[in-house]
Amino acid sequence: MSALRVALVAGPMYDHLYRIFEPGEVEVVVHADHPTLNRTVAAMLAGGERIDVLATHSKYAPSQAAWLLDLDELLDPEVGRALAPAAVDLCRYRGIQWCLPRLIDVRVLWWRRDRLPEPPERWSDLLAGSAVFGFTGRESGAFGTFFELVAAEGGRLFDDDLRPCFDSEPARQALRTMQTLADRAPADLPDWHYDDVDRALLEGRVDLAAAWPGAWGALRSSALADLLVPSRYPAGTARRVSYSGCHAWAVPRTCGDVPGAVALVERLLGAEAQAIDAAGGSVCAHRAAFAAVIPSSDTDARRLEITRRTIEESMITYPPLRRFPEVEDAGWSMIQEVLRHRATPEGALERMQHAAELVLDDPSADPEGHHR
Residue 328 resides in a domain: yes
- CATH number of domain containing 141: 3.40.190.10
Q: How far apart are the first and last CA of the chain?
A: 40
Residue of 308 and 52 predicted with greater confidence = 52
Element (H, E) at 362: none
Q: Roughly what angle, to the nearest 10 degrees, separates helices 324-339 and 169-183?
A: 50
Q: Looking at the domain assignment, is residue 32 inside a domain?
A: yes
Can you spell out the DSSP letters for 290-355?
Answer: HHT---SSHHHHHHHHHHHHHHHHTEE-----TTHHHHHHHHHHHHHHHHTTSS-HHHHHHHHHHH
Q: Identify the pLDDT of residue 63.
A: 87
What's the pLDDT score for residue 91?
92
The four Cα atoms 297, 299, 304, 309 give a dihedral, to 10 degrees, of 150
Is the confidence at residue 127, as pLDDT, over 90?
Answer: yes
Range of the domain at 277: 4-105+245-293
Same domain, 48 and 80: yes
> Quick one: 211 and 251 in the same domain?
no
pLDDT at residue 367, as a whole number: 40
Q: Where are the beta strands (DSSP E) in the chain?
A: 4-9, 26-32, 53-57, 92-93, 96-97, 100-105, 108-112, 133-134, 208-211, 228-231, 242-243, 245-250, 283-284, 315-316
In this prediction, residue 364 carries a pLDDT of 56
Which pLDDT belongs to residue 234? 96
Cα–Cα distance list, 39 to 85, 145, 238 (Å): 29, 22, 36
- Mean pLDDT score of the chain: 92
Regarding whether 258 and 195 lie in a shared domain, the answer is no
Domain membership flag for residue 40: yes
The DSSP code for 222 is S
Return the number of other C-beta atoms located less than 10 Å from residue 141's C-beta.
23
Q: Count Cβ neighbours within 10 Å for each residue of 50-78 and write b for 16 or more, e otherwise.
A: bbbbbbbbbbbbbbbbebbbebeebbeee
- Domain contains 308: no
Q: With cut-offs at 50, 70 and 90, classify the pLDDT of residue 315.
A: confident
Backbone angles phi, psi at 314, to 5 degrees: -130, 5
Same domain, 202 and 349: yes
Q: What is the mean pLDDT of residues 222-240?
A: 94
Residues 41, 94, single domain; the answer is yes
Over residues 183-212, the pLDDT tens digits come to: 999 999 999 998 899 999 999 999 999 998
Distance CA 262, CA 211 (A): 32
Task: Look at residue 276 and tell me if it is in a domain.
Answer: yes
Average pLDDT over residues 96-118: 95
The pLDDT assigned to 1 comes to: 61
d(CA 241, CA 159): 18
The pLDDT assigned to 320 comes to 85
Query: What is the tally of structural domains in the chain?
Result: 2
Asked if the structure places residue 116 within a domain, the reply is: yes
**According to the model, what pLDDT value does residue 215 have?**
87
Position 304 in a domain: no
pLDDT of 366 strictly over 80: no
pLDDT at 368: 35
Q: Is the pTM of this model over 0.75?
A: yes
Residue 305 resides in a domain: no
Residues 322 and 349 in one domain: yes
pLDDT exceeds 70 at position 372: no
Instruction: Give me the percent of the chain exceeding a pLDDT of 90.
Output: 79
Q: 170 and 223: one domain?
A: yes
* Same-domain pairing of 217 and 337: yes
